[in-house]
Structure 1
């Protein structure tokens, strides 16, 4: 009984009681909410710091589209995670960002490249192509004075030159022409440059990478590329270098002052002279549907891609049918309770699935070698069978490898599917007099397809785009005679895209490769849509 009850006095209002409840409630709110807010604040500080760094980088390289996307995403993140009413978006935003970064952006950028001539000799902007051309024809200006020079740096490793031009200190970098610092020096190299740090001479002499950077560095004299640039061979003195080529921006021409040859800019992104000669460096431009038209109108390319396309369909189909059939066969055998040691045998047959795919491809590549491969020595009595050099034998060997790698997956899937089939239906069919073949054809197999058909469709898509297996086994060889690119008889469309892109070596044509990638995407999408539509009929069987 409380004191107020004993004295008969009325208890004071709840808010006037001198207890510790408000303080305790405040502590509970802080412990339940405050620490979480601090963690969120720290995480968002990191996100904002990384976002601002990316925005600054995009701003420096003048990538306006990426800059706009980064700004929108950063603002959206701040609004979502600091606005109380945006609770659902707190969980959706990370997934949407990853979806945009790894799916939508990649597809959109691939589509953009497909409408350009981006590739070897056309992988820069026109301004960069002009600069590269002028650099290639660069020579030291006769009578140019030698300027005392100091190597300077700032920010994240940005290297520049500071020169003594008659007592005035000028500084610049690869991206910024020389500008006056307002500092004067009596003689020798500059010793003080506002906003920059002088690179110590001992560091320059000991760092070979820095030495190469200094030798390659060009600091423009002005915004006009024809005025030349300051270059240094020793890091302590510099001179003005000018190109024998002169750029006329209004006329869109580059003139070789030594020969008088005039190179005009064309719509194909090249500088071409009247005699048909051209400068080696071009730039990327929009070419419309030219890449798509080339895929279907260039006779040599069309013939080679037709061979690749037919083999791709065959390979993708057999990559599902053969492993599925073998896996189903083993599943039926080892699902029979009369077989002893089923678990051990299943584990043995699943071993290829646990072995890394790239190792299997390399091992089988050696096993099928015509000279010292174990396949010829053990199974064909040492016969000289050129498995990897003959188009048909190479395809058989590749299919064998794919079956060896894939059937354990289907063994697992079919085993699970068989064990999930209701025994009532099988027993009812057996009572009605249906034999084993009839039970399998009418009951087991249709019920099996209900659960395995979607997996078969996804496996078909994997086979359609199985670049690692084909490339590691024999790099798509043997080559197709007369093919304009390094295309082979066992190449599938995805490896053809890889070869045309030039990533594996040779001339690159990213525009044509991107166009072919769009075509493959559409083909796989159409085939998958038709297949999924057909699988709906299996649901009626249940």
Structure 2
């Protein structure tokens, strides 16, 4: 009866939120539920500091984007920043989002944004000569065409500065009038200017006159500074090389804002051709141009331009050959060593395995550089020692260079396959061998009909990823051969061992030519499509292996 009373009291206490002690005394309060994600004062302070830094960076970015007129990105930044603050300053029910936000943010920044931005660039003419706005192009063309007027008078000048903006304080040589102007504003008379002992203007209220040391530190900026003589561009600009004397310069081409054209001194008119350039009637264009959307022009150019189309098809064929051969050979050699070093009677397995995986321990780019030295036709170890001083062109003959690239990549890649295959072999049940022996199957028959299919169940996805890796294996190609020897039917720096990824790099970063980010982005999309399609087909084919499993 007493036990029933205690049980009833405990149940009643739970209902009221307290639990009476079976030993008498005051009832014990239920334990406080632990708040998920709670981390005390230190965690709260760290959260506030990190969110404060994030908000400060975002505010700075908003000011920068506002100056560039990027209103849509500003709205996106405001929404994302507000969402992050709402998640991390909220209650425990938002705990899952607190763990998901960092990973999703990095995914969006380093993957999704890069893909979308590359896709956008692929439909523009962005590159050397077309990397700015139209206003920048007008200013650059006007600046590039400047020539000093032969009979220009010498203007004594002093370089002044206000709010970080450089200006020219000049003295008119005809009437000693003080004139002040900047790169944005033309020369205009200024009052209350102080003069030096020669009677030339040297200081003006509100402006800081640069000292000799400051002039020397900013020579490049001063040399590029051009101040219009008047509101009429035809009157030219004032430029100085020594920060003490300036002369009048005029441009070979004059821009007319009303007609949006440039007119040269010989009367040739250059108008906007709709392709990001000012061009004359005969097609001659002024440089630089500006960035515009060109639609599918980069994709069409990749397969129709004689300088690109022929080499591109050869590069695509070699890329597939290299990726397939490298994947198959590394798998075959790695599996061979795995089978040999997995034999139960073999002694010293650990030592052999360490030796086999040594190439995997060195950085690929460093190993490729070492191999480039070993295969040097005149001084390399391979020719001098192994072939008795023969000058075999391992890296300069197109076919030997391709063979050398595959050989070096085999040396670098087989340890990975060895490790994978070793783990897969050790996971196979021993009953497989015993059952095969009972049935009278030979070792080769056992391997071909039983072990290999079982291995492919787990290794097939890794073979697909290895193919994708070799399809974009930049390090081995660029460090060993730089894609050479070069093709002779194009002026571009494209060679017999170039993969699509190295070709994209050369097109994008101007290795031996101009940078063309639009075309490079189009080729990057081509790589993405090829690898994606092949991977999808291959993964679907691997479903057939599930029946074996």
> TM-score band, normalised by the shorter chain?
0.7 to 0.9
Moved over 6 A (4+): 141-145, 164-169, 178-183, 220-227
Q: Shift in Å at residue 454 of structure 1? A: 1.1
CA contact (8 A) 1:327 1:411 kept: yes
Match of 2:330 among 323, 340, 345: 323
The change in CA–CA distance for 1:369 and 1:134 in structure 2 (over 3 A counts) is same
Q: Is the 8 A contact 2:152 2:247 kept in 1?
A: no
Q: Please show how residues 351-366 of structure 1 align to structure 2 within 5 Å.
A: 351-366=358-373
Helix, strand or coil at the partner of 1:516: helix
Distance in 1 separating the partners of 2:211 and 2:463: 66
Distance 1:522 1:92 in 2: 29
Q: 1:271 matched to which residue of 2? A: 278
**Counterpart pick for 1:203 among 213, 226, 237:** 213
Cα deviation 1:361-405 (Å, max 9, x = unaligned): 111112222222222223323222212221111111111000000
Q: How many residues align?
A: 504
User: Higher mean Cα deviation, 355-364 or 433-442?
Assistant: 433-442
Shift of 1:437: 1.5
How far does residue 48 in structure 1 lie from its aligned partner after superposition? 1.6
Among residues 388, 392, 399, which one is paired with 2:395 in the alignment?
388
1:460-493 deviations in Å (ceiling 9; x for gaps): 0111001121011111111122135221111111
Partner residue in 1 for 2:155: 146
Per-residue CA deviations over 1:139-180 (Å, capped at 9, x if unaligned) read 4577678375343264xxx442263789989675x5x54799
1:108-147 paired onto structure 2 within 5 Å: 108-139=116-147, 146=155
Pairing partner for 2:255 from 247, 250, 269: 247
**After superposition, where does 1:86-97 map in structure 2 within 5 Å?**
86-97=94-105
The aligned residue for residue 287 of structure 2 is 280
Q: Which stretch shifts more, 93-102 or 463-472?
A: 93-102
Counterpart secondary structure, 1:110? helix
Structure 2 counterpart SS, 1:322: helix
Shift of 1:415: 0.9
Q: Quote the residue 1:160 is aligned against.
A: 166
For the residues of structure 2 that align with 1:34 and 1:227, how far apart are their CA atoms? 68
Aligned to 1:73: 80
- What are the residue-to-residue correspondences of 1:406-421 with 2, within 5 Å? 406-421=413-428
Q: CA deviation at 1:105?
A: 1.3
Q: In the alignment, what sits opposite 1:190? A: 203
Contact 2:236 2:251 (8 Å CA) reproduced: yes
Unaligned runs of 5+ in 1: 1-13, 15-24
Choose 83-92 or 358-367, whichever is displaced more. Answer: 83-92
Alpha-carbon distance in structure 1 between the residues aligned to 2:347 and 2:41: 62
**The residue matched to 2:161 in structure 1 has which SS?**
strand
Match of 1:462 among 457, 469, 472: 469
Q: Distance in 1 between matches of 2:55 and 2:231?
A: 34
User: How far apart are the structure 2 equivalents of 1:181 and 1:328?
Assistant: 85
Counterpart residue number, 1:495: 502
TM-score of the two chains, using structure 1 as the length reference = 0.84
TM-score of the aligned structures, taking structure 2 as reference length = 0.83
Q: 2:162 & 2:422 partners in 1: Cα distance?
A: 65
> Pick from 445, 449, 453: which aligns with 1:446?
453
Does residue 234 of structure 1 match 2:242? Answer: yes
RMSD value over aligned CA atoms? 3.1
